Amino acid sequence: MPVAEVARRMLDTYPREFSLDRDLLVRCIEACSDCAESCTQCADDCLGEEMVQDLTTCIRLCLDCSDVCTTTGRVVSRRTGFDPAVTAAVLTACIAACGRCAAECEIHAAHGMEHCRVCATECRSCEQACQDLLAAI
Amino acid sequence: MPVAEVARRMLDTYPREFSLDRDLLVRCIEACSDCAESCTQCADDCLGEEMVQDLTTCIRLCLDCSDVCTTTGRVVSRRTGFDPAVTAAVLTACIAACGRCAAECEIHAAHGMEHCRVCATECRSCEQACQDLLAAI
Amino acid sequence: MPVAEVARRMLDTYPREFSLDRDLLVRCIEACSDCAESCTQCADDCLGEEMVQDLTTCIRLCLDCSDVCTTTGRVVSRRTGFDPAVTAAVLTACIAACGRCAAECEIHAAHGMEHCRVCATECRSCEQACQDLLAAI
Amino acid sequence: MPVAEVARRMLDTYPREFSLDRDLLVRCIEACSDCAESCTQCADDCLGEEMVQDLTTCIRLCLDCSDVCTTTGRVVSRRTGFDPAVTAAVLTACIAACGRCAAECEIHAAHGMEHCRVCATECRSCEQACQDLLAAI
């Protein structure tokens, strides 16, 4: 089942009210999940390339981005005791990590690295989803 | 985009051969992602219930299961330097965590906890996806 | 062995030069490790209290803080392909999470919750260590 | 402060009884924390080496081991709703990940990679601490 559907079903059963826009929240959870996965795999794909020496910055930024997206997805998924300032700071960090990782992947995508092209798209989607949720807090 | 589609596109661009069945692998990655999300939310939903005192074992098992699923999804996503013994041990731990969390959630689902019902289903799906991948290693 | 000693030994064997102050970096890594641990345990200690109903905001903030500290410790530990903007954004998120979790724990510490008192101290230490490293970037 | 001291102080304030040996538990928590840190840094140190092409298996096993140790440290830190079967399965996975990562790092340590030498020691310590705690469950 898509993570978005899991997230939506779980939010529908949440026992309290919550004020955040449900669609923006589901979109952000899904984007964080997608981007964490694409970054984990892109780092590993880079390790599998013959020219791994040229991809070390990309690997590092993918590892950072995967960690930050995983944490962001968890923080935004929690509704009880919601804190706007912490959530905003974490979304801001995720926007930075996704934007920087996307920019690096786009360089390698332009030189024919297909996994970097797919990963850059996921990073840009996650950057946007975090910006949209941040604007709604 | 569903995580399964992200995982599939990234696997399609992997620069080396790999021997694991692609469909089982994608299914396991998606199930780990889904189950990590449902467990993070179920723990939080339980915290939001008036009868949280009766749900502390469920919260704890959901926290464990979310952590184990996140780690398992990462380990199976990495193809370079694949190690069957480590992967098998991690899948075995995930099967244990999912099975135990499902059993606990099923108890509360039978008493009308809807988030536990949804979460139990995801835990059982992930338990099965990990068993299927483990059988193929 | 203390994590600080492990971090120092590993930094001493790093094959390239790096510009960040080594003592501030080791201190931040140790503080993130300590705070992740105290928050994981404080959330669990709160779950073990009879009055868990009054501690749900504390549990949630501890879970967030543990996740953010774990990710921050990983990001600052990586030297290859270092990116100041991503690191600064992650440290800023960690300062927010630690400060908010400390403030909540301090309320419960004032009412005799000993685990909240210990945890608040670790959160304040980590908040400070992240501020010091951020100032040095 | 050493993580072991943080863990001990937090366990001392746990509001319920628990049956596991406190010293073995503290030792395991500290070892997981140390090993997660050394593996995160060893993966990064390997990325910084000129001969990174020869270290891709080491990087991958370090990434796996860091993830597994982080999750294991969290699972054993939680006392409420303790489940012996889940804990045993997670410790078994950690023993496998640490043992395999140690063996790989020892190969590179024998060829002069100092970070692999330090990391192998931490992996062996963590493997032992997990075995000791597993034997006590």
| DSSP sequence for D101-116 | HHHHHHHHHTTT-HHH
pLDDT digits (tens, 9 = 90+) for D10-51: 999 999 998 899 999 999 999 999 999 999 999 999 999 999
DSSP letter at A54 equals G
Tokens of A20: 């955040």
Question: Which of D10, D29, D30 is facing C42, going by the closest CB pair?
Answer: D10
Tell me how far the alpha carbon of residue D38 is from its chain's centroid: 9
Per the listing, tokens 């230490």 go with C125
Question: Which stretches of chain D sit within 8 Å of chain B by CB?
Answer: 56-61, 63-64, 67-68, 70-71, 74-75, 78, 80-83, 85-86, 88-90, 92-93, 95-97, 100
The answer to whether the Cβ–Cβ distance between A44 and B15 falls below 8 Å is: no
For residue A60, name the pLDDT band (cuts at 50, 70, 90). very high
Cβ-defined contacts of B49-54 (< 8 Å, 24+): B49/A15, B49/B113, B50/A15, B50/C53, B52/C52, B52/C53, B52/C56, B53/C50, B53/C52, B53/C53
Helix (H, G, I), strand (E, B) or coil at C78: coil
Tokens of D31: 């070892």
In this prediction, residue D19 carries a pLDDT of 85
The answer to whether the Cβ–Cβ distance between B70 and D71 falls below 8 Å is: yes
Q: List chains adjacent to chain D, taking adjacency as at least 3 C-beta pairs closer than 8 Å.
A: A, B, C
The answer to whether the Cβ–Cβ distance between B81 and D93 falls below 8 Å is: no
In this prediction, residue D98 carries a pLDDT of 98
Q: What is the mean pLDDT of residues D111-121?
A: 97
* DSSP track, A60-82: HHHHHHHHHHHHHHHHHH--TT-
> In chain C, which residues have their Cβ closer than 8 Å to the Cβ of A123?
none
For residue C19, name the pLDDT band (cuts at 50, 70, 90). confident
Q: Greater confidence, C19 or D85? A: D85
In this prediction, residue D112 carries a pLDDT of 94
> In chain D, which residues have their Cβ closer than 8 Å to the Cβ of A44?
60
In this prediction, residue A111 carries a pLDDT of 95
Question: Which of D67, D81, D85 is facing B96, going by the closest CB pair?
Answer: D85
**Contact by Cβ (8 Å): B108, B119:** no
In this prediction, residue B57 carries a pLDDT of 98
The answer to whether the Cβ–Cβ distance between D44 and A52 falls below 8 Å is: no
> In chain B, which residues have their Cβ closer than 8 Å to the Cβ of A117?
13
The answer to whether the Cβ–Cβ distance between C63 and B59 falls below 8 Å is: no
Q: List chains adjacent to chain C, taking adjacency as at least 3 C-beta pairs closer than 8 Å.
A: A, B, D
Q: Residue C23 pLDDT more than 90?
A: yes
pLDDT digits (tens, 9 = 90+) for A80-135: 999 999 999 999 999 999 999 999 999 999 999 999 999 999 999 999 999 999 99
**Contact by Cβ (8 Å): D109, D116:** yes
In this prediction, residue B27 carries a pLDDT of 98
> In chain A, which residues have their Cβ closer than 8 Å to the Cβ of B12?
114
Angle between helices B22-47 and A3-12 (to 10 degrees): 20
In this prediction, residue A76 carries a pLDDT of 98
Question: Which of C1, C45, C77 is facing D44, going by the closest CB pair?
Answer: C77
- In angstroms, rounded to a whole number, what is the distance separating the alpha carbons of residues C71 and C75? 6
For residue A53, name the pLDDT band (cuts at 50, 70, 90). very high
ipTM given for this complex:
0.97
pLDDT digits (tens, 9 = 90+) for B11-21: 999 999 988 99
Four-residue CA torsion sign, A120, A122, A125, A126: negative
Q: How many residues does chain B have?
A: 137
Q: Residue A19 pLDDT more than 90?
A: no
> In chain A, which residues have their Cβ closer than 8 Å to the Cβ of C95?
89
Q: Residue B23 pLDDT more than 90?
A: yes
**Contact by Cβ (8 Å): D8, C122:** no
The number of beta carbons lying within 10 Å of the beta carbon of residue D48 is 20
pLDDT digits (tens, 9 = 90+) for B44-73: 999 999 999 999 999 999 999 999 999 999
The single-letter code of the amino acid at D55 is L
Mean pLDDT across chain A: 97
In this prediction, residue C15 carries a pLDDT of 93
Contacts across the A-C interface (CB distance below 8 Å)? 96
Question: Which stretches of chain A sit within 8 Å of chain D by CB?
Answer: 43-44, 47-48, 50, 52-53, 56, 59-60, 63
The single-letter code of the amino acid at B81 is G
In this prediction, residue A59 carries a pLDDT of 98
Tokens of A73: 């997805």
For residue A44, name the pLDDT band (cuts at 50, 70, 90). very high
For chain C, helix, strand, coil in percent to 5 are: 80, 0, 20
Tokens of A75: 């923080």
